[in-house]
């Protein structure tokens, strides 16, 4: 016969029975605790939006114009050293993240073992390259900023219930950035190469406007009519900014990335072809075509068709120079961010070609990843990209709008880095998105992946 004195009663009820009126006090403490959790969770989900606001609004308005010249053809390159604002912002965000994780340590999710080890191996190896880097102090300093940024994003992904809880505040930040850049037309003069907005270069405005356009399209898929209206108003403003900035590449990618993402989502649903497999299947013929597999046609013809210049505005010479130095250290590379922009120690500084000597990177993220980290870093990074694609593949099934946005962002970064170096280089919006996707791909929330 069961012991009736030890009946299975919830502890909170039993405590209330034992304390009498004290039970009401226990209930009030529980309610206050839940309110505190809700407040902390909402704060955690805002952290990626705060990072985005820093890159899109705070940094350019406070510091950017004093660090990067608008035209590399004149004057020496100004080194982008970490400013006071960086030294306050990134450690502060990381400290806030640690506090939130400690406060909610019983509710946080966890990370997948394989994905976590892959990220640790990648960033750990980038740190290890300081042992043979040309400028080891610069390698460690710049890498530390990205590590702090990564830590600052962790609470959002471990505490959020849905991906929309993170993406919606980020959309509002992009909407504000669009409004500020539209307003800047009245006070900022157009340069000879295009309108820069509040940024130091017209390409930065183009890149941020394109990303804002992707978020505006995402806003149109939400049920909240206020978000949809804001997204509808943002789209024409984004197109206008892209046109006056003369950022044709960004305009093209803003159109192509969502269209390709929608196509990929349709293939995923209809033919049940996973996104990583689809990416590999489409990459092989594209690489064959651009690599000269078809007689009389290669990447120079594409450049001539798009820009009227078969050299991608001088990039091919930089790519040849970069490829030659990759061949010197093919496995280990020259050190993370320890080749370009490090002064006389850089092999580029000794070149008589002023464009190569002044360039801040090779204008190709894949080449720079191999140049700085060798085939080891490039291989680890491409594995991370495929891991992100697997996560997005699951996200599309649960939230098509968020899945298409993340697919668009992934395609945008992959294509952007064909002509520019953006991965872990500089204060860019796409680096926030890249790290957000990295962490999202390895996060398990309440027994399932974050969706």
Over the stretch 147-187, which tens digit does the pLDDT of each residue have? 999 999 999 998 888 899 999 999 999 999 999 999 999 98
Residue 47 has pLDDT above 90, yes or no: yes
Q: What's the CA gap between 32 and 277, in Å, rounded? A: 48
More confident residue, 178 or 289: 178
Which CA distances in Å does 334 have to 139, 329, 338, 370?
Answer: 10, 7, 6, 9
Answer yes or no: are the C-beta atoms of 220 and 231 closer than 8 Å.
yes
Domain parsing of the chain, residue ranges: 33-449
Give the pLDDT confidence score for residue 7 in this predicted structure: 40
Q: Around Cβ 34, how many Cβ atoms within 10 Å?
A: 10
Tokens of 292: 């000269």
Across residues 116-132, what is the average pLDDT? 96
β-sheet bridge partners, residue 444: 110, 449
Q: H or E element: which one contains 443?
A: strand 443-445
Q: What is the pLDDT of residues 74-84, one digit of tens each?
A: 443 444 445 67
Higher pLDDT, 9 or 246: 246
Q: What is the pLDDT of residue 317?
A: 86
What is the model's pLDDT at position 406?
95
pLDDT surpassing 80 at residue 137: yes
pLDDT digits (tens, 9 = 90+) for 313-370: 778 889 999 999 999 999 999 999 999 988 888 898 888 777 788 888 898 999 999 9
pLDDT for 280 equals 76
Average pLDDT over residues 229-240: 96
Write down the pLDDT at residue 78. 42
**Range in 32-36, 140-144, 157-161 with the lowest mean pLDDT:** 32-36
Report how far residue 210's alpha carbon sits from residue 420's, in angstroms, rounded to the nearest whole number. Answer: 15
- At residue 100, the pLDDT reads 92
pLDDT of residue 243: 94
Reading across the β-sheet that carries 443-445, which strands appear in turn? Answer: 110-111, 443-445, 448-449
Q: What is the pLDDT of residue 13?
A: 43
Question: Which has the higher per-residue pLDDT, 69 or 54?
Answer: 54
Separation between Cα atoms, residue 338 and residue 293, nearest integer Å: 34
- The per-residue pLDDT of the chain, averaged, comes to 83
CA gap 449, 157 in Å, rounded: 10
Q: Which of 9-13, 85-89, 190-194 has the lowest mean pLDDT?
A: 9-13
Beta-bridge partners for 158:
none
Average pLDDT over residues 125-139: 95
**Residue 33 CB coordination number (10 Å):** 10
* pLDDT higher than threshold 50 for residue 12: no
**Residue 232 token pair:** 């509808």
What does the pLDDT average to over 209-222?
Answer: 96
Which pLDDT score is estimated for 21? 46
Higher model confidence: residue 264 or residue 49? 49
pLDDT of 79: 42
Question: Helices (DSSP H) in 72-201: which residue ranges?
Answer: 84-103, 113-128, 136-159, 164-183
pLDDT of residue 123: 97
């Amino acid at each position: 016969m069961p012991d009736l004195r030890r009946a299975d009663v919830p502890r909170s009820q039993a405590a209330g029975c034992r304390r009498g009126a004290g039970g009401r006090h226990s209930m009030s403490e529980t309610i206050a605790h839940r309110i505190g959790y809700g407040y902390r969770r909402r704060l955690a989900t805002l952290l990626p939006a705060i990072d985005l606001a820093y890159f899109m609004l705070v940094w350019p308005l406070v510091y950017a114009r004093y660090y990067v010249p608008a035209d590399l053809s004149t004057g020496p390159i100004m080194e982008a050293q970490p400013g006071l604002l960086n030294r306050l912002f990134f450690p502060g965000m990381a400290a806030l993240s640690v506090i939130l994780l400690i406060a909610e340590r019983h509710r946080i999710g966890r990370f997948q073992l394989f994905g976590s080890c892959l990220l640790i191996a990648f960033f750990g190896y980038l740190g290890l390259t300081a042992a043979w880097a040309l400028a080891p102090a610069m390698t460690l300093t710049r890498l530390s900023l990205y590590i702090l940024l990564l830590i600052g994003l962790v609470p959002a992904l471990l505490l959020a219930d849905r991906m929309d809880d993170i993406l919606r505040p980020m959309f509002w930040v992009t909407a504000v950035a669009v409004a500020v850049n539209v307003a800047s037309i009245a006070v900022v003069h157009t340069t000879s190469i295009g309108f820069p907005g509040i940024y130091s270069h017209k390409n930065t405005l183009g890149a941020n406007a394109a990303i804002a356009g992707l978020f505006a399209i995402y806003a149109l898929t939400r049920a909240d009519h206020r978000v949809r209206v804001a997204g509808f108003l943002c789209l024409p403003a984004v197109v206008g900014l892209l046109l006056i900035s003369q950022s044709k590449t960004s305009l093209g990618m803003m159109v192509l990335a969502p269209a390709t993402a929608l196509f990929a989502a349709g293939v995923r649903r209809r033919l049940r072809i996973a996104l990583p497999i689809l990416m590999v299947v489409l990459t092989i013929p594209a690489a064959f075509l651009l690599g000269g597999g078809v007689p009389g046609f290669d990447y120079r013809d594409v450049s001539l068709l798009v820009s009227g210049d078969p050299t991608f505005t001088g990039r091919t010479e930089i790519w040849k120079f970069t490829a030659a130095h990759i061949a010197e250290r093919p496995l280990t590379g020259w050190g993370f961010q320890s080749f370009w922009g490090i002064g006389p120690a850089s092999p580029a500084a000794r070149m008589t070609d002023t464009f190569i000597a002044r360039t801040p990177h090779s204008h190709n993220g894949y080449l720079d990843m191999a140049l700085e980290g060798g085939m080891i870093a490039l291989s680890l990074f491409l594995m991370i990209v495929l891991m992100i694609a697997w996560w997005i593949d699951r996200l599309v099934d649960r939230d098509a709008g968020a899945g298409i946005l993340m697919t668009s962002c992934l395609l945008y970064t992959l294509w952007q880095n064909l002509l520019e170096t953006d991965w872990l280089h500089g204060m860019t919006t796409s680096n926030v998105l890249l790290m957000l996707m990295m962490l999202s791909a390895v996060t398990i929330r309440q027994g399932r992946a974050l969706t």
